[in-house]
Each structure stands twice: as C-alpha cells, then as structure tokens.
Amino acid sequence: MPVNTGIDALLEPMATLFVENLTVLDFSYLHAKRGMVGESWVVDLELSGELDQQSMVLDFGRIKKAVKKALDETADHKLLVPAEADNLEISHPEEGRLTVTWRYAAGEIQMRAPVCSVLSVPGVELSKGALTLYLMDVVRDAVPDSVGEVLVTLREEETGTAPFYHYSHGLKKHDGNCQRIAHGHRSRIEIFENGRRSRYWEKLWADRWEDIYLGTEEDLDGTYFIEDIPHHRFIYQAAQGRFELLIPEDHCYLIDTDSTVECLAAHIASELEREAPGKHFRVRAFEGVGKGAVAEAGQMRV
C-alpha cells in the first residue's frame, strides 16, 4: 500500500474534541450607554490537532485544569474595559495599582484598585467577538503546539422567558477574587408566592436590579456631585489591597449587609414580606450560572 506523503498528507483532517461548559466567566464591563454591566458568559471550547501517543488531541483532565485556569485568571471576576474607547482613561498612579475613568451620558465611573482587577480588551467596545478573539490567544498559549486550531464560544445561559438581571458588586471579606469591587453576574431569579411561581415579582426585581451596582452601606464613603449629577463613592480595604469606586447614584442600590448571594436572597425575601404582608415568599436568587441561595420570609394568612 502506498504511503500518503506530500500534499495528500497535509490535507488529512485533524481530529477535533469539544468541551461544553468549560467554565463560566463572571465579570463586569463598561458600556457607553449602560455604564457598568455585570455579566456571566459560559465558555465552550473546541480543539483540533494531531493525535498524541494516547490517541488524543489533548487529555480532558489537562483541559479542565490548564485551559480553564488560564481563562479564569484572565477574565473572571474582573472589570473588562475596551482599550480603544474614546471615553476611557487609564492611569497608574503607583506601582501595582491603576485608576480607570469612564465618562458616559449618565455620569462618570471611576475605579482605583490593584492592577489584577482590570482586563483591557482591544477594541472600542466590549463585545463577545472582541473577548472571544482575546481568549483564543490565551487558550493557544495554554495548549501544546500539536493543537492546530482553537475555537472559543461565549454564550449566555439559556433562561427562556424567565426574568434575569445584571448586577455588579464587591465582597471585601472574601479571601478570593470576589473581593474585587467591580465584578458582576447575569442572574436569574425565582420567586414563589404562597407556593406558586410569581412572574410578576420576578419581573419587578429583574427591572429593579437591571444594570445595578449593589453597594453595602458600610462601604459608602459619601455622595459627591459631578456636573450636578450625584455619585456614590465606595471604599474598602481587602486582602488584595484598597478598592475605591465612584459611580452615579441612580445606578446604585444600597443594602445594609454584605452583598453575598445569601444576603441578597434574604434581602429580597424581606422586602417582599414588607411590600406584600400576609403572604409567604420563597426566593431562589442566582449568582451567575447554576449557583445561588434560597431565602424565605412572611407567613400566609389563613
């Protein structure tokens, strides 16, 4: 049998493997109209290349460790900014820290934080396409040369007609990257009134918290006016350093607890009990995709 050489060999198809739901990137980004937007994008991956000595393109265990780690360290729990936007300014007042300033119609967003809190993505706006191209280079650096083609797909969680909202926050007591003052999530919410699912209440809270910054009252340093627009300034010290955020007041929602999902679920349940006394509520509040907290409040009158 003749040996396949030359051009015919080069045209042999590569093997392709895929990994769905490799990771979820929870982050916030700056938008020219919406301001700071919390987001959660699921990452799917395809790798094509030559088979190794195990007859694999790449071991799935290696993908889940090395590639997932590279993606998470690059974009997860950060503020993503479009590097070439005209209304963006970035300065480095001291080593290891930066100041991000974003001016838009509703006011100004300014964050001072450790450098690790921000990812600058090429382009004039942050989009799935821009981040996909950026992350494809990250994946290429994380896989061996035998992998010839990389395909990264970013997508939102399928929620059907169920309400969801985008929120940003920071958890100063967290010992991981959640302590960063400007990261966020795209989250579903499920509310049960007297044991029955209530789309009315779900839609109300989804509208109430759309593109919102959930700030802890304890971290509020003060309210300041920039061109007659009130802005809240939040400041706290965390393990990774000092964090400061200035953001228009009408894009904020203040709570008297930390903004962990457990506290958010409890807050929503408590507010529902206050707004609709005599009813029992069960709240399933999500933090991004596939995780969250449950809280109950109120008592049904008989």
Give yes or no for residue 12 having a pLDDT over 60. Answer: no
* Whole-number pLDDT of residue 145: 84
Distance between CA atoms of 187 and 10, rounded to whole angstroms?
A: 46
Q: How much is the pLDDT for 247?
A: 98
Kindly report the number of other CB atoms within 10 A of residue 162's CB atom: 15
Burial of 271 (0-12, 13-18, 19+ CB in 10 A): middle
Does residue 239 carry a pLDDT above 70?
yes
> Tokens for 269?
């349940």
pTM, two decimal places? 0.91
pLDDT value, residue 224 = 96
For residue 102, give the nearest of 32, 173, 38, 170 by alpha carbon: 32
Predicted local confidence at residue 59, as pLDDT:
75
> What is the distance between the terminal CA atoms of the chain, rounded to a whole angstrom?
85
The answer to whether the Cα torsion of 239, 240, 241, 243 is positive or negative is negative
Please say if the pLDDT value at position 9 is more than 50. Answer: no
Q: Write down the mean pLDDT value for the chain.
A: 93
Q: With a cut of 80, say whether residue 112 has pLDDT above it.
A: yes
C-alpha–C-alpha distance, residues 233 and 1, integer Å: 75
Select from 3.40.50.970, 3.30.479.10, 1.10.240.10, 3.50.50.60 the CATH code of 6-186+222-251: 3.30.479.10
| Cβ pair 172, 243 in contact under 8 A | yes
In this prediction, residue 13 carries a pLDDT of: 65
pLDDT band for position 62 (cuts 50, 70, 90): confident
Q: What is the mean pLDDT of residues 272-300?
A: 96
Between residues 297 and 93, which one has the greater pLDDT?
A: 297
Domains of the chain, by residue range, sit at 6-186+222-251
Region 39-45: what's the mean pLDDT? 97
Residue 1 in this model has a pLDDT that exceeds 50:
no
Region 87-113: what's the mean pLDDT? 96
What would the mean pLDDT of 83-92 be, rounded to a whole number?
96
Identify residue 141 by its one-letter amino acid code: D
Residue 148's pLDDT is: 84
What single letter denotes the amino acid at residue 260? T
Determine which helix (DSSP H) or strand (DSSP E) holds 244, and give its type and residue range.
Answer: strand 241-248
Q: Determine what percent of the chain is predicted with pLDDT higher than 90.
A: 82
